[in-house]
Amino acid sequence: MRICAKAVLAASLSLGLAACGGGPAGQKTADRKLDDLLVTTPAAQRDLDKATWNLPFGEPASVDPIKAFNYPENTVVANLCEGLTRLDPDYSLKPNLAEKVETADQKTWVFTLRDDVRFWDGTPMTADDVLFSLRRHLDPDEGSYWASDQITGNIASIEKTGEHQVTITLKKPDATLNSYMATPIGVVVQRAQREKAGAKYGTPEGGVMCTGPYTVSSWAKGSSITMLRNDAYWDASRRAKTRQVDLRFIVDPGAIASALETNAIDGSYDVPIDAVDRLSASGSGTLYLGKSLQVVAVISTGSGPLGDPAVRRALALATDRDAIAATVFSGTAQVPRSLVPRGGWTYGDGVFGPANDALPGTAKNLDEAKKLLTGADLGNRTITIAYPSERQFYADILSEMSNAARELGLTIQPKGVPSAQYGAFFSDAKARAGYDGFMTTNYMDVPDPLAFLRTIAAKGGSQNFDGHSDPETQSLIEQAAGTLEESERAKAVAELQTKVMERMPWIPIAAPSVRLFLRKGVTGVPASFVYLYYPWAADLGAA
Amino acid sequence: MTAQALERPAVRRRGGDLADRLGPLGLAAVAVVALITLAALCAPLITSHDPAIGSVIERYQGPSAEHLLGTDQSGRDLLARLLYGARTSLLGAAVVVLLAGAGGALLALVAAWFGRTVDALVGRVLDLLFAFPNLLLAILAVAVFGTGLGQVTVALAIAYVPYTARVLRSVALRERRLGYVQAAELQGLSGLVVSVRHILPNIAPQILTGAAINFGYAMIDLAALSFLGLGVQPPTADWGLMVSQGKDSLLQGHAQQSVFAGVCIVVAVAAFSVIGERLGGRKAGGRA
């Protein structure tokens, strides 16, 4: 009897809740303006003693810069350690630890270092530290996550060529190298401390020694990281405005939304998509939408019907991507014509704009999609696509794509894979076996379309998951990489983009905006997608 | 040996009126279970909607003539997903209790018949299995064999075996010592024949009542595994999965999916628990 009474009570309560929670039929997400996305929030007016920030992707595994290759690590390391160059919120590249960069042929890059930079312990940064830091990416024993054929694999030598000068010589010209010096590839750490810390380097016990505006004060594993302002920061004009920043690792969307609404945390990037409407209406703070470098896409592994470019293009045309952007992303995403997000065109405005407009439109066009498949051999017609099972929005996207596939005579079979296993899809071909495609929220490491397209389309590219390569594409990549003059490079990259989008190795679904929430009274952090490499916390202060 | 001692006690156990033992509450629970089973079987007759098909354009629709319970975040009909979800939820739990019942009965009969060393060995194996929490064992199976209803069902069935076997062993041991079993042995019947033809029918009520109780627990465990993304995979409809998929919708103020699926789980589990307890309670092999 006791069990039954409890069950009836629970059922009654639940039904009551359902009645209260049920939204009206056809409820629409508020229209959002995405034409002019923000790059930063209003500048801070005063210093702040303490702030609490959330890392929605969880706790970093390490703060060693060469192990920083994902959201949690990069978001923290960006405030601790600095590169030779710096990517500002408007995606412009600025000198940083190197005061000058020179190249005549895009093969030999000479970095003239500042002589006034000091590590947190007060010791000066030397050319030897820079040399050591850059060479770590070439040392297999160090295990840099940034080591790749295209960037570090293209380095012929790194030498100290003066008391305050380091020269990188490449095997082949690469105009994007300087941009990568703003990422962990160009980050400088203190050699002595690295050697002393040994295997514990980057961990709560071993730590790091860098030059950035914040130091790690404490790291309670599984709970929080406390960053303290580096009061002796070498650039007084960019000294951090908040004395202490506590970083939390709340990953549950509901908990994040509640913590933001109650001001238990002062801010967070990447707030949950499903919480966007709720946070927009919240009086406790402001939701900012920023210029992003992200793209949500379906990656083809080259197998099954999805291995056919005509099928990929037909699916793109038949899928109502506008509806996905408006509903699944709560109106915070745009539908891109290209795999390169609009925010990623930081040069060659006069070239990229028309080139993008010339790409096929994004509106649903079933007739055109069916024409593309005329005569195509579709094999078994079933397309298996993997997605991280914890991310509901991927399932929603695939549900909508399944409708399109059905209208084309195809079947999409979504298969959820736990996130813990999903990461292997990007590094291990065996993990992708049996799948025709997999979902991604990808982002550009640097705001240069060449750098991004190269990973997807170049022979041996780190994200060339279907293994396709052709001489014409390769030639365009090399031509663009060898062109330093930006408007000229833009022409080659635009041509490359057109060629890549003809094959469409990835089906672009949406270009999400940066979703940033700040509580009332705090402001200043960038709203753009620079927070992985830019010391965003240093700009945080009181409104 | 008296004639009374040689008499098989089966008649004694079957003598009770099932309806009396269940009582009004038990009968109501049976009606609920019958209703859920019927709804699951007749899902295509009740709704014309495909539980796996929807459009995001129609997401979070409220109740209407077209969608009696509204739609979920993918625009799928909630009533259709509840009805078809009952199939996977009931089927998974049924397989768990069937396999666990069969395995438990086998171990109990072997232990009771051979006794001594074999009994002790079976006891230690059961102790070992008891050491692993059910969900942990299922998660281990997923790590080795991948996600899916089949994998977690088999893993849970293995995890449920000791609960069934422990109780059935004590009942089978008692039967083993009764005169009718010794008489059958004296007639030269083999251990297999005596166990299957004579002892098994007499421990059947305990198997059935244990299964009824375990059915509810199995539903909860399977729902939990689906909630964690380890059991039934989208877009297949399943109550546990619906609770999980509705979690993010709560942030948007749409509680229907999680709540409706949660209510179904609560009602079904309560009904099976009531039936089990009325039939014989935890003494009959239900999970502790």
HEC readout, A380-442: CCEEEEEEECCCHHHHHHHHHHHHHHHHCCCEEEEEEECHHHHHHHHCCHHHHCCCCEEEEEE
Structure tokens at A113: 């270092």
Structure tokens at A238: 């960019």
Q: Is B149 on the interface with A (CB under 8 A)?
A: no
Q: Is B255 on the interface with A (CB under 8 A)?
A: yes
Residue B135 lies in a domain: yes
Residue B2 lies in a domain: no
What are the distances in angstroms from CA A132 to CA A212, A492, B109? 18, 35, 71
Residue A428: CA count within 13 A, CB half-sphere? 7
Q: Is B123 on the interface with A (CB under 8 A)?
A: no
In A, which residues are within 8 Å of B255 by CB distance? Answer: 17-18, 20-22
- β-sheet with A165-170: strand ranges across: A98-103, A108-113, A165-170, A155-162
Residue A334 C-alpha from the chain's centroid: 16
Closest-CA residue of chain A to B271? A4
* DSSP annotation string for A24-59: PTT--PPP---TT-BSBPPPP-B-EEEEEEE-TT--
- For A505-527, how does the pLDDT look when each residue is reduced to its tens digit (9 = 90+)? 999 999 999 999 999 999 999 99
Residue A440: CA count within 13 A, CB half-sphere? 24
| B273 three-state secondary structure | helix
What is the residue type of A246? D
Structure tokens at A107: 């093969």
Q: Which of residues 190-249 of B touch A (CB under 8 A)?
A: 229-230, 233-235, 245, 247-249
Q: Which residue has the tokens 């960069």?
A: A101
Element (H, E) at A187: none
**B235 preceded by a cis bond (ω within 30 of 0):** yes
Residue B173 lies in a domain: yes
Q: Do A254 and B251 touch (CB under 8 A)?
A: yes
CA–CA separation, A145 and A207 (whole Å):
18
* DSSP annotation string for B126-139: HHHHHTS-HHHHHH
Q: Alpha helix locations (H) across B177-280?
A: 179-186, 191-193, 200-227, 239-250, 256-279
Instruction: Decide if B180 contacts B1 (C-beta within 8 A).
Output: no
Residue B87 lies in a domain: yes
Instruction: Decide if A443 contacts A269 (C-beta within 8 A).
Output: no
Does the CA dihedral A240-A241-A242-A247 come out positive or negative? negative
Angle, alpha carbons B160-A5-B86 (nearest 5°): 50
Structure tokens at B267: 């009602």
| A329 three-state secondary structure | coil
Closest-CA residue of chain B to A329? B56
Q: What are the φ and ψ backbone dihedral angles of A260, each rounded to 5 degrees?
A: -70, -40
- Nearest by Cα to B229 from A523, A389, A347, A232: A389
In B, which residues are within 8 Å of A274 by CB distance? Answer: 248-249, 251-252
> How many angstroms away from the CA of B252 is the closest CA of chain A?
6
Residues contacting A274, CB < 8 A, separation 6+: A253, A330, A392, A393, B248, B249, B251, B252
Q: Is B254 on the interface with A (CB under 8 A)?
A: yes
Closest-CA residue of chain A to B235? A414
Instruction: Decide if A284 contacts A519 (C-beta within 8 A).
Output: yes
Residue B26 lies in a domain: no
HEC readout, A504-519: CCEEEEEEECEEEEEE
Q: Do B56 and A395 touch (CB under 8 A)?
A: no
pLDDT value at residue A457? 95
- The number of folded domains in chain B is 1
Question: What's the whole-model pTM score?
Answer: 0.83
Query: pLDDT over 70 for what percent of chain B?
Result: 91
Residues contacting A394, CB < 8 A, separation 6+: A387, A388, A414, A439
In A, which residues are within 8 Å of B70 by CB distance? Answer: 22, 25
CA–CA separation, B286 and A113 (whole Å):
74
Residue B141 lies in a domain: yes
Q: What is the domain extent for residue B271?
A: 79-284
CA R_g for chain A: 24
Q: What are the φ and ψ backbone dihedral angles of B89, each rounded to 5 degrees?
A: -65, -45
Residue B169 lies in a domain: yes
Summarize the confidence of residues B3-19 as an average pLDDT: 52
Closest-CA residue of chain B to A321? B56
Residues contacting A294, CB < 8 A, separation 6+: A341, A441, A442, A443, A511, A512, A514, A529
Q: Which residue has the tokens 């702040």?
A: A48
| A124 three-state secondary structure | strand
Q: Is B266 on the interface with A (CB under 8 A)?
A: yes
Q: Do A403 and B53 touch (CB under 8 A)?
A: yes
> How many angstroms away from the CA of A333 is the closest CA of chain B?
15
Q: Are strands A411-417 and A382-388 parallel, antiparallel or unpaired?
A: parallel
CA–CA separation, B141 and B133 (whole Å):
13
Length of chain B: 288
Instruction: Decide if A183 contacts A146 (C-beta within 8 A).
Output: yes
What are the distances in angstroms from CA A64 to CA A114, A143, A197? 23, 11, 11
> How many angstroms away from the CA of A339 is the closest CA of chain B?
23
Instruction: Measure CB to CB from residue A24 to each of B62, B245, B259 and give the nearest one.
Output: B62
**Per-residue confidence band for B281, with pLDDT thresholds at 50, 70 and 90:** low
The 10 Å CB-count burial string (b at 16+, else e) for B205-217 is bbbbbbbbbbbbb
Q: Is B56 on the interface with A (CB under 8 A)?
A: yes
For an interface test with B, give the residue of A2, A3, A29 to mutate (most B CBs within 10 A).
Answer: A3
| A215 three-state secondary structure | strand
More confident residue, B6 or B104: B104
Instruction: Decide if A385 contacts A440 (C-beta within 8 A).
Output: no
Q: Is B92 on the interface with A (CB under 8 A)?
A: no
Q: Give the other-Cβ count within 10 Å of B36's Cβ.
A: 19
What is the residue type of B125? V
Q: Do A23 and B252 touch (CB under 8 A)?
A: yes
Q: Which residues of chain A have pLDDT under 50?
A: 1-30
Q: Do A396 and B235 touch (CB under 8 A)?
A: no
CA–CA separation, A219 and A247 (whole Å):
9
Residue B35 lies in a domain: no
Element (H, E) at A103: strand A98-103
The distance in angstroms from the start CA to the end CA of chain B is 38
Residue B215: CA count within 13 A, CB half-sphere? 24
> How many angstroms away from the CA of A470 is the closest CA of chain B?
37
> How many angstroms away from the CA of B69 is the closest CA of chain A?
10
More confident residue, A210 or B213: A210
CA–CA separation, A490 and A103 (whole Å):
19
Angle, alpha carbons A175-A178-A182 (nearest 5°): 145
Q: Do B253 and A400 touch (CB under 8 A)?
A: no
Q: Are strands A333-334 and A506-512 parallel, antiparallel or unpaired?
A: antiparallel
Instruction: Decide if A368 contacts A318 (C-beta within 8 A).
Output: no
Helices B78-114, B149-176: axis angle to 10 degrees equals: 40
CATH number for the domain spanning B246: value is 1.10.3720.10
What is the residue type of A466? D
HEC readout, B146-171: CCCHHHHHHHHHHHHHHHHHHHHHHH
CA–CA separation, B257 and A58 (whole Å):
27
pLDDT value at residue A46? 96
Q: Is B263 on the interface with A (CB under 8 A)?
A: yes
Q: Are strands A48-54 and A242-248 parallel, antiparallel or unpaired?
A: parallel
Summarize the confidence of residues B230-251 as an average pLDDT: 87
Q: Do B256 and A18 touch (CB under 8 A)?
A: yes
Q: Is B77 on the interface with A (CB under 8 A)?
A: no
* DSSP annotation string for B60-75: TPPS-SSSTT-B-TTS
